[in-house]
Copies of this chain bind each other. A is one copy, B any other.
Amino acid sequence: MLVVKVGGAEGVDLGTVCADMAALAAEGQPWVLVHGGSHETNQVAEKLGHPPEFVTSVSGYTSRKTDRRTIEIFEMVYCGKRNKALVERLQALGVNAVGLSGLDGRLLEGPRKKALKVVHPETGKRLVLRDTYTGTVKKVNASLLRLLLDAGYWPVLTPPAISEEHEAINVDGDRAAARVAAALGAETLVILSDVPGVLRDFPREESLVERLPRHRIEEAQERWAQGRMRIKLLGAKEALEGGVARVILGDSRGESPVRAALSGKGTVIE
């Protein structure tokens, strides 16, 4: 079993990812594709007059400030535009894809964070945000994914997740993919983004960390990882702890990004 996460940053080429996924499917490789949609969500939110805001947690992770209106816009882009574009493209490549969100069949479930401790971007003061629709995936409905896979369908999965109180909640896509990989007993989790992997000297791409033993993940988070890479490493750690044998942080920008990552290009964490 293979789980691939493709981000939603600007310029991520879904065409090359889909081509790779279709070739893998044709070879009989079972997979689940998890995707994001952050950049387009920002654009649509601006146009709809509800511009995006971001907050940084006290532990240093940046995330989208998510009120109820933001969740609706998030769903429009992630579950509507992006998920269906991927399904359409995969169908055209002969893959019988089924697009699902974490709400559907409670595929991704976890507690909602009712109070989010954040740091004010300018003053550095600590604040508590309430009424945010964010959380963390704790449970994956692996049986629904297996039901579909066994019947010849290829799941394309996106946040939001569902809270224990049945609300749509924004969850980190990389960490959600890690949970999915662990729940399915996947051998490999590939997380693609618009950088080559962990860089020792960001943004110098030649400073790529090619191999990272799992016991050095935290060190890599502290010493090298910038921005979103820190949370990808957290996802990698959670996947490995959940029994996934190998996590590859790969580059989404190449001609054959999934293939390249599977052949060891990127930061391979074991």
CA distance A77 to B73 in the complex (A): 9
Which stretch, A161-169, A175-183, A196-204, touches the partner chain B?
A161-169
Which stretch, A26-34, A43-51, A215-223, A226-234, touches the partner chain B?
A43-51
Least CB distance from A262 to B in Å reads 26
A144 within 8 Å of B (CB atoms): yes
What number of copies of this chain does the assembly contain?
2
**Across-interface contacts of A99 in B (CB, < 8 A):** 79, 100-101, 103-104
**Across-interface contacts of A224 in B (CB, < 8 A):** none
**Across-interface contacts of A44 in B (CB, < 8 A):** 48, 76
Total number of A residues with any Cβ neighbor in B under 8 Å: 41
A87 within 8 Å of B (CB atoms): yes
List A residues at the B interface (Cβ < 8 Å).
Answer: 44, 47-49, 72, 75-81, 83-85, 87-88, 91-92, 96-101, 103-106, 143-144, 147-148, 151, 153, 160, 162, 165-168
